[in-house]
Structure 1
Amino acid sequence: MRTVRHQVCGIAIGLATVLAPCLMTGTASAQDSAPHRVAVVDVAYIFKNHPGIKVQVANVEGDLKAYDAELKQKREQLQNTAAKLKTLSPGSPEYAQLEEQLASMDSKLRLDMARKRKELADAEAKIYFDNYQQIAAGVKFLANHYKINLVLRYNSEEMNQAQGESVIRGVMKNIVYHDAALDMTPGVMQYLDKVIKTDPAIAGRNGTSQRQ
């Protein structure tokens, strides 16, 4: 059975058509004067567009929607119990019993909400942590293969003048200009295709990993 490492090593040939023409252009004459080679990668784009990552995020969002529906039902039960309590005489055994039940329901609901919020937050954090490690591994693999010394993170998002936050993000970009030939993002996307298992049917509904 082939290991992930063996599968990844097979990417090199396929990626040659993506990166080699870009990264090798002009290097023969420039190596003596500029031995360091630089590339860029759009991490945000990868997180937003890789099918495997999108499936993972969708699963967490599905859990959240399911819990929201369950939470709505429990809140309605709590409201119904509170309304029933108002119909009883304060101080009566029935009132005391229902009041205690209501307090218990409310306390349990709050604890369940806190637990679920943490569970979902942890699940989301794990998605970003695990996939960032995969992205970093892909960058390292390609950088080693193509003898690249430095890979910088950049954001390819275009500024939208109608959206203030978009303008701010654009103005704050660390990289003002780069040659498109330096973009390693397509190669990293192909690397992730090999290391992130994705249901083809789900991936098809969520888009493609090919960057235009």
Structure 2
Amino acid sequence: MKTQVKAAAAALLAVAFFGAAASAQNPAGANAKKYGVAVVDINYIFKNHQNFIASMDGMKNDFQGVEAEVKGKQQQIVKATEQKNNYTPGSPEFKQLDEQIVRMNAALQVDVTQKRKGLVEREAKIYYDTYVEVTKAIQLYAEHQGIGIVLRFNGEEADQNNRESILRSINKAVHFQNSIDITPDVLAYLNRTATAQAPGGSRPQ
């Protein structure tokens, strides 16, 4: 039963995939099936993957929220320090505020460390989940198109004024491809699926 369910799910994914590819009518990968070889620009997909972009934007907003929270607590410490300086060193009030400031600094350090760790782990999960999703989409496309191998390549043109860009182009694994770039089809499928899964999104036709 599980095998049948998986097969049915794969068939539905294939319909969505090739529906997206057909509607795009993009000749970039026209020869991939003919040669049994394809290339894909993973960097381009990540930069234009709707779910990935939305997730990273959410990360950015949360980071800014944490940053604002930290600044607010730092300001409280500054005010407490200014208040402490109004008292005579060694006085009960001075000692009390001094101990309070030490506790505030320690608590802030722990809070920042925990939240930073949480954000780093969350970012890593976003990258991993997206990588798995992209890999599965590439596999699905290759299997249904009879493609035996899919190579990663960089379709970005070299910037003659940027040394790093030129070096990246020199070190490309693929320097020429004859219409075997399946990047547009894979990206179209991923974004089409993202739209279908979003609240109020339309389902693939």
Interval of TM-score (by shorter of Structure 1 and Structure 2): 0.7 to 0.9
Question: CA distance change for structure 1 residues 166 and 21 in 2, over 3 Å: closer, same or farther?
Answer: closer
Map 1:174-193 → 2, pairs under 5 A: 174-179=173-178, 181-193=179-191
| Distance across 1 between alignment mates of 2:31 and 2:161 | 36
1:149 corresponds to 2:154: no
1:22 corresponds to 2:20: no
> What is the root-mean-square deviation in Å for CA atoms of aligned residues?
2.4
Correspondence for 1:10:
15
User: Cα distance, 1:20 vs. partner?
Assistant: 9.8
User: Cα distance, 1:19 vs. partner?
Assistant: 6.5
SS at match of 1:10: helix
Percent of pairs with identical residues = 33
Q: Deviations over 1:95-130 (max 9, x none)?
A: 111111000100111111111111111111111100
User: Cα distance, 1:194 vs. partner?
Assistant: 4.5
SS at match of 2:157: coil
Structure 1 runs not aligned, ≥5 long = 28-35, 202-212
TM-score, with length taken from structure 2? 0.83
**Aligned residue type for 1:23:** N
User: Cα distance, 1:8 vs. partner?
Assistant: 1.1
User: Cα distance, 1:11 vs. partner?
Assistant: 2.4
| Distance across 1 between alignment mates of 2:9 and 2:73 | 45
Contact 2:29 2:182 (8 Å CA) reproduced: no
SS at match of 2:172: coil
Q: Deviations over 1:47-103 (max 9, x none)?
A: 111222111110111101111111111111111111222221111111111111000
- Matched residues, number: 189
Contact 1:160 1:167 (8 Å CA) reproduced: yes
Map 1:1-212 → 2, pairs under 5 A: 5=10, 7-14=12-19, 15-16=21-22, 17-18=25-26, 22-23=30-31, 27=34, 37-179=36-178, 181-196=179-194, 197-198=197-198
| Distance across 1 between alignment mates of 2:181 and 2:200 | 27
TM-score, with length taken from structure 1? 0.80
User: Cα distance, 1:193 vs. partner?
Assistant: 2.5
